[in-house]
Structure 1
Amino acid sequence: MSNDTYDLEALQNGSLANLALTKFKLTPTPSLTVFPDEIFTFGPSLTYLDLSGTGLSSLPPNFTTSLPNLKILFLSNCAFTTFPDLSSHHTLEMVAFRHNSLTSIPENTLPPKLRWLILTDNRIPSLPSSISSCPNLEKCLLAGNNLSTLPLSLTQCQNLTLLRLSANNFSSLPKFLFTAFPKLAYLSFAGNPCSLSSRKAHKLPFGLLDIPYSSLAISRVLGRGASGIISQAEWKPSPDSDFTEDVAVKMFRGSLTSDGRPEDEMEAVLLAGSHESLIGVVGKVTGYSEGEREGVKGGIVMSLVPGGYEVLGLPPDLESCTRDRFTEGERGWEMGKAVEMLTGIAGAGAHLHGRRICHGDLYAHNVLASKGDGHGLLGDFGAASVYGEEEDGVERVEVAAFGRLVGDVLGLVEERGEGERERAMRRGLEELQRRCEDGDVEGRPDFDEVVEVLRGMLGWRGVMRIPEVPN
């Protein structure tokens, strides 16, 4: 048990009564159906409360006045059917009701300072028009509900940066999603009728193999995520040959993540095809037994990323919300190599949108990069969506994500000691970032133009050629 996690007995026996706790997390207690008043003894000191995994279905009337400085509230995996009235709580910034049984969000119940809203995996048919009273809303997770439209008043949330709409009932996406939000950069909508119908029109790239599970000898786990497990394996393409190849295998499992469904991720990866800045997909795993691989939705075999590649950044935390974080070890990029890496990632973006696939999570923490080679690999398709002609505006939404990536990478390049060429490249990248994040969404470049600008900086065969940058 961590220092901030306590069981119900410790809460009720009075042993915590004299502690000025700022953070309280209760161990999952499904039998708890009434809010424990003992929590109110923490009063103004409490800023973080997690009562997930309980049987709670309501909050007491004095919740707001008794915990006046609460900033973060987790009530996931509980029994709420109606969103509680938090409108008078003026310090709440993050609220999570993942995997409840919510069917209603009454008007004027959202906290006005709300920045991060998690409503994944409920049965919500609509959002309240009063969501417009949350101008700070930056991150909104709505995957796995019954939404078929969004209120026009959502456009008042001008700080909205990340929106998850996967696994709902949208037959088409509201047009205002592609023009009305100057900061929107990360959008996912897979698993909706509009995306499923578009996916049927796509064909899998030529050359993907069906790879029997029996031909893979799994050796070690490389990573675990919400949608599955990635392992290193030795692949024997032919039972009659001694030749083997080291590969990576991802087995998709689970039902729903905050980004969407594992099966939609797998389909997007397979449809993406090959590009030098995407992790290569060899084929699809076949022949595994559901009994042996309980809960598995499918699997893919990928090229094994060579040594020397490291994750470019760390995912956002509760404080940074939609911004990646970076350590000193991730810094130290040389400007020319950084531009080469960014050119490759922009090329991957152009390739994906050429196949009408939106990555949805174009972040530094989803890029594996080699400083020495100036090369990056874009991975993690958990938020990827296949789209049709009606959703063409989604590309310029994702260009904003690339603009944010450019800004992050500039922060990783050592500015001290730069020569005139490097300074000119920095000015060029700053101008490109400004254009990619332009609040006039329709005025942004597409990925093809972004690639051309970056190639212009590098010049033919790597000879530096800096475009003029307007003052």
Structure 2
Amino acid sequence: MNTLAQLRSGQLHGLQRLDLACDLTEFPLEIYQLADTLEVLNLSGNALTNLPPDFSRLHQLRVLFCSENRFTHVPEVLGECPRLSMIGFKANQIIELPPAALTPALRWLILTDNALRSLPAELGDCRQMQKLMLSGNQLQQLPEQLANCSALELLRIASNRFSTLPDWLLRLPKLAWLAYADNPVCDVAEAIVLQREAGQFKQIDWDSLSLHQELGQGASGVIHQATWRQQNSQTNSDPALEQQVAVKLFKSAVTSDGLPECEMAACMSAGSHPNLIAVAGQVAGHPERSAGLVMQLIDPSYQNLAGPPSLASCTRDVYASDTQFTLETALRIATGIAAAVSHLHARGILHGDLYGHNILRNPQGDSLLGDFGAASFFALDEVVNAQALQRLEVRAFACLLEELIDRCVHGPTQQDCLLSLRTLQARCALEDCGQRPLFAEIALTLSDLRA
């Protein structure tokens, strides 16, 4: 984090990224001293309400973060910044996105957790848009012109007021990651799934858990290693049985994917599968009434398959430069994940965030799919809609397959198998969504290739 003192003294001359969080109520004009070099400006966590009319003097600016401020409108001056491709105004008080604020280079727009009731039709002119994050607003519909955004790959509209999903949305050629939970459109489907699981989910008393070191933290919560003491039911004289587990305690705030409560509902409804992280039960009796889940503790040999997308990669995961897989390992990972997603789809659950960074794998290729923060429910009996949603997730799997194939090492006798894998990947990535296979077929094809 930089300071105003550093900025004013000239210490930051030539800086490409500036991070200022110091209760700002006005835009520091000294930032203009960096106009020839500044590409990323982060003003999140201040008390700003507007930007100056000559803001476009920052002519090299590509990325702007203004989350957790007090803006009520996205500033129109942003439309005068020709290179600005990523804009983030999460957790403000925004009620309007003026058409003039849209930049010609816009690829990534974050307006999560605001008060938007509508979006301008001109959003459909942003033909380079790849990521659009609108969860936690008051939207009832999307402008039909958004159908023109054929490059759109990730859309977050959870926690709004959508009663339907438009047909054109499910036909977008590259849409792969969709989150729409906590909307009227999926209330009935969610209720059916939760009713199916009623009484099947164990309540685990908080007093039986002892938390240890933190294992990780995400947008929706914090995960700790913990000891779970279970009373031996055979005799009261025997000591309690102790089991090492992971406990995820959820935050209450809306995330870019949606509400933590929706993530919990999806986890509880996912059921048991060898390629999903097992959930033992729900935390009950937390002293601060925090929601939580008790989950399987993952062996440390499992590591994240990839890192999340960067500012540069936008929608695609980032892999270590030396990442390689044998063909057998790549097939094992792909087969396990396809089987897990097929299982979820059969239960009316769309994962919504099928990415390498949400997959744990060990050196042998055993894999676990986690992070249900973007999961949504769909009605299985609405067959046309259900299959269209499933085929969106098939494109996400196509991206994962492509990443595995690109890092795959193979011998001369494996050429035919690799060609078959590439053929499957191409089918999963077809821009004509209706021509993509469903996961039941994908899982079967992969199993045959492994054999």
After TM superposition, the score normalised by the length of structure 1 is 0.90
> Where do residues 44-443 of structure 1 align in structure 2 (5 Å cutoff)?
44-64=36-56, 66-85=57-76, 86-179=78-171, 181-202=172-193, 203-204=196-197, 207-238=200-231, 240=236, 241-242=238-239, 243-290=241-288, 296=290, 298-328=291-321, 331-372=323-364, 374-389=365-380, 390=382, 391-392=385-386, 393-415=388-410, 418-420=411-413, 422-443=414-435
Gaps of 5+ in 1: 460-471
- How far apart are 1:196 and its partner, in Å? 2.5
Deviations 1:311-357 (A, max 9, x none): 1111111111111011145x232212221221111011111011111
- How far apart are 1:6 and its partner, in Å? 1.9
- How far apart are 1:306 and its partner, in Å? 2.1
Gaps of 5+ in 2: none
Q: Which moved more, 1:262-271 or 1:301-310?
A: 301-310
Q: C-alpha separation between the residues in 2 aligned to 1:67 and 1:211? A: 54
Equivalent residue of 2:283, what SS?
strand
Query: Which of 438, 448, 451 in structure 2 is aligned with 1:456?
Result: 448
Equivalent residue of 1:300, what SS?
strand
Deviations 1:41-84 (A, max 9, x none): 222221111122222222222111x1111101111111111121
Q: C-alpha separation between the residues in 1 aligned to 2:22 and 2:309? A: 25
Letter in 2 for 1:303: Q
Q: C-alpha separation between the residues in 2 aligned to 1:71 and 1:324? A: 20
Is the aligned partner of 1:28 residue 2:15? no
Q: C-alpha separation between the residues in 2 aligned to 1:368 and 1:210? A: 26
CA shift in 2, pair 1:307/1:61, >3 Å: closer
Q: Which residue of 1 aligns with 2:3?
A: 6
Letter in 1 for 2:389: V
Aligned-pair Cα RMSD in Å = 1.7
Q: C-alpha separation between the residues in 1 aligned to 2:148 and 2:332? A: 38
- How far apart are 1:206 and its partner, in Å? 6.8
- How far apart are 1:18 and its partner, in Å? 7.9
Q: C-alpha separation between the residues in 2 aligned to 1:96 and 1:117? A: 6
Letter in 2 for 1:91: R
Deviations 1:379-423 (A, max 9, x none): 0111111122554121100010011111111133224xx132x22
Q: C-alpha separation between the residues in 2 aligned to 1:107 and 1:375? A: 48
Equivalent residue of 1:87, what SS?
helix
Would you say the 8 A contact 1:17–1:41 is kept in 2? no
Equivalent residue of 1:236, what SS?
strand
- How far apart are 1:209 and its partner, in Å? 1.6
Would you say the 8 A contact 2:6–2:12 is kept in 1? no
Deviations 1:414-466 (A, max 9, x none): 24xx132x22221111111111111001111110010111111123xxxxxxx
Deviations 1:198-220 (A, max 9, x none): 21111217743221111122222
Identity of aligned residues (%): 40
Equivalent residue of 1:399, what SS?
helix
**How many residues end up aligned between the 2 structures?**
439
Would you say the 8 A contact 1:117–1:141 is kept in 2? yes
Equivalent residue of 2:168, what SS?
helix
Q: C-alpha separation between the residues in 2 aligned to 1:453 and 1:58? A: 54
Would you say the 8 A contact 1:205–1:273 is kept in 2? no
Letter in 1 for 2:265: E
Deviations 1:284-332 (A, max 9, x none): 1112222xx6xx2x11111211232111111111111111011145x23
Q: C-alpha separation between the residues in 2 aligned to 1:81 and 1:18? A: 30
Would you say the 8 A contact 1:132–1:153 is kept in 2? yes
Q: Which moved more, 1:94-103 or 1:45-54?
A: 45-54
Would you say the 8 A contact 2:221–2:251 is kept in 1? yes
- How far apart are 1:274 and its partner, in Å? 0.6
Deviations 1:179-202 (A, max 9, x none): 1x1111100011111122321111
After TM superposition, the score normalised by the length of structure 2 is 0.93
Would you say the 8 A contact 1:205–1:270 is kept in 2? no
Would you say the 8 A contact 1:35–1:60 is kept in 2? yes
Would you say the 8 A contact 1:17–1:42 is kept in 2? no
Would you say the 8 A contact 1:314–1:324 is kept in 2? yes
CA shift in 2, pair 1:95/1:18, >3 Å: closer
- How far apart are 1:133 and its partner, in Å? 1.9
